[in-house]
Amino acid sequence: MTIGKKMTDALNGQIKEEIFSAYLYFAMAADYESKDWPGVASWMKVQAQEEMGHAFKIYNWINERGGKAVFEAIDKPQESWDSALELFEGALKHEQHITACFYNLVKIAREEGDISTEIFLQWFVTEQVEEEANASEIVGKIKKVQDSQNGMYMLDKELSIRSAAPAQSDSQS
């Protein structure tokens, strides 16, 4: 069954959200690269890559269902953050917003009777639990060590270990 216009429009809106997410995490990486926190910057670059994977996944789904992806203008992200705590709290807040976007997409899929898109979206709903948990865990760690230069140095090292997840470039993975 070909995807409906309302569902396509909503998924196109989410492609924009995902590409904006990549843009935001790239901006976060750039800010912390310039402040000499390579581990934080590396973590953010991996996150940016994953966000592009999410955009591709939705793009592929629209195509597979006979729709057409349409690209909207991407907003300019914030350029600078005052502290690592502010940075990761910003990431957490952003992920909570993205979770709300997916809940809304599931609602639309249900209203439209688009069961296959509803099932497709379940991957993202689960992924969002992990995305929020990751950011929240780092916020917690920063709160513990933020007044300690040594602690922040160790945390930066720990964050540098994160590697890219396999590219989510098809709708099955």
Q: Which is nearer to ligand FEO, 36 or 75 (CB)?
A: 75
Q: At 32, list the tokens.
A: 């912390």
How many residues touch ligand FEO under the rule CB under 6 A: the total is 7
Distance CA 141, CA 152 (A): 9
Shortest reach from residue 153's CB to ligand FEO, in Å: 27
Q: Shortest approach of ligand FEO to residue 38 CB, angstroms?
A: 22
DSSP type of residue 160: T
- 51 vs 114 by CB, closer to ligand FEO: 51
Regarding 18 and contact with ligand FEO (CB under 6 A), the answer is: yes
**In whole angstroms, how close is the CB of 145 to ligand FEO at the nearest point?**
24
Smallest gap from Cβ 55 to ligand FEO, in A, equals: 8
The 119-138 site mask, x for binding ligand FEO (CB under 6 A), equals ------------x-------
> What x/- string results for residues 72 through 111 when contact with ligand FEO is judged by CB under 6 A?
-----------------------x--x-------------
Phi first, then psi, for residue 46 (nearest 5°) are: -60, -40
Q: Does residue number 48 form part of the binding site for ligand FEO (CB under 6 A)? A: no
Which pairs from 41-46 meet CB under 8 Å and 24+ separation?
42/159, 42/160, 42/162, 43/138, 43/159, 43/160, 43/162, 46/162, 46/163, 46/164, 46/165
Give the nearest distance from C-beta 53 to ligand FEO in angstroms. Answer: 8
Answer yes or no whether residue 118 interacts with ligand FEO by CB under 6 A.
no
Give me the residues that bind ligand FEO (CB under 6 A), please.
Answer: 18, 21, 51, 54, 95, 98, 131
